[in-house]
């Protein structure tokens, strides 16, 4: 089993911990430069928090041929990237809020890559040296607003529109993992990461040629076919082989639910 990096709510304070086999230990120090602390007692009693603190979230569009086809778009010749704000992050178990401004909001299950050290001008073959771990993500999208706007910042950037977690798998290769998305227990998306148009090495090289990636930054690697609409009361799960499942429920913005 891969080592799992977790961010746990210890009272009001998020703290990092790592699980190895049966036990878990707290981590002390700065992100990616930790020292091992004491054991985590009663691990199951700590709520999971978003497993990293990115300065930016860089996402890919049309990185699976099936999704490009269902959107009626051609495959890109090079990666298409866009940004989601860190304020969009949502932990495992949190509630996706459907905004009043949008008429249609879709789920998009994805593999997320979390950066472990500063990356600039990375070669594709070096990508593994800069990756701290992998996790599940949901690139929630206000589809009607995305189609309306020339840029996707609004349609992709609402609060709660980037569920991420439940934790990072630290010793897992990204090249051939099974990704599934479930809506209310019904399988809606299923693909293997080897089906990506651009693999993780190519993605990291492309992005790091444009911008410096900092420890904790997140790359969303694109969604396969099968995206669909979310409605209040839905439960959406993104499950990735070797990582686990990211589970979130859906509410209407301003419904009063926590």
Lateral strand order in the sheet of 228-229? 141-142, 105-107, 228-229
> pLDDT at residue 256 above 70?
no
Partners of 89 in beta bridges: 162
Across residues 107-134, what is the average pLDDT? Answer: 97
Query: How would residue 258 be classed by pLDDT, with cut points 50, 70 and 90?
Result: low
Per-residue pLDDT tens digits for 2-13: 799 999 999 889
pTM value?
0.95
Q: How far apart are CA 103 and CA 111, in angstroms?
A: 26
* β-strands 105-107, 141-142 pairing: antiparallel
Per-residue pLDDT tens digits for 55-101: 999 999 999 998 988 888 888 999 999 999 999 999 999 999 999 99
* Topology at the third CATH level for domain 50-252: Fumarylacetoacetate hydrolase; domain 2 (3.90.850)
The total number of residues shown for the chain amounts to 258
Per-residue pLDDT tens digits for 176-224: 999 999 999 999 999 999 999 999 999 999 999 999 999 999 999 999 9
Q: What value, to the nearest 5°, has the Cα angle with vertex 133 and ends 132 and 137?
A: 130
Per-residue pLDDT tens digits for 38-57: 999 998 899 999 999 999 99
Which pair of tokens denotes residue 92? 């495992």
Q: Please report, for the chain, the start and end positions of each structural domain, with discontinuous segments joined by +.
A: 1-49, 50-252
Cβ proximity of 61 and 216 under 8 Å: no
Per-residue pLDDT tens digits for 6-38: 999 998 899 999 998 778 999 998 888 899 999
């Amino acid at each position: 089993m891969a080592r799992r990096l977790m961010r746990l709510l210890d009272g009001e304070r998020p703290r990092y911990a790592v699980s190895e086999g049966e036990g878990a230990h707290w981590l002390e120090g700065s992100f990616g430069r930790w020292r091992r602390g004491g054991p985590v007692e009663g691990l199951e009693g700590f709520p999971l928090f978003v497993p990293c603190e990115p300065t930016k979230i860089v996402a890919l569009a049309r990185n699976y041929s099936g999704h490009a086809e269902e959107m009626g778009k051609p495959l890109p010749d090079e990666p298409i990237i866009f940004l989601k704000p860190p304020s969009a992050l949502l932990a495992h178990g949190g509630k996706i809020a459907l905004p009043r401004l949008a008429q249609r909001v879709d789920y998009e299950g994805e593999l997320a890559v979390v950066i472990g050290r500063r990356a600039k001008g990375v070669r594709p073959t070096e990508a593994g040296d800069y990756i701290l771990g992998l996790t599940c993500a949901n690139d929630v999208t206000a589809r009607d607003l995305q189609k309306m706007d020339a840029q996707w910042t609004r349609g992709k950037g609402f609060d709660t529109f980037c569920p991420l977690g439940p934790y990072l798998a630290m010793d897992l290769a990204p090249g051939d993992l099974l990704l599934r998305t479930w809506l209310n227990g019904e399988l809606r998306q299923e693909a293997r990461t080897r089906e990506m148009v651009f693999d993780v090495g190519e993605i990291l090289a492309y992005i790091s040629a444009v911008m410096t990636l900092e420890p904790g930054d997140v790359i969303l690697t694109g969604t396969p076919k099968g995206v669909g609409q979310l409605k209040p009361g839905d439960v959406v799960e993104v499950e990735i082989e070797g990582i686990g499942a990211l589970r979130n429920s859906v509410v209407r913005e301003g419904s009063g639910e926590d």
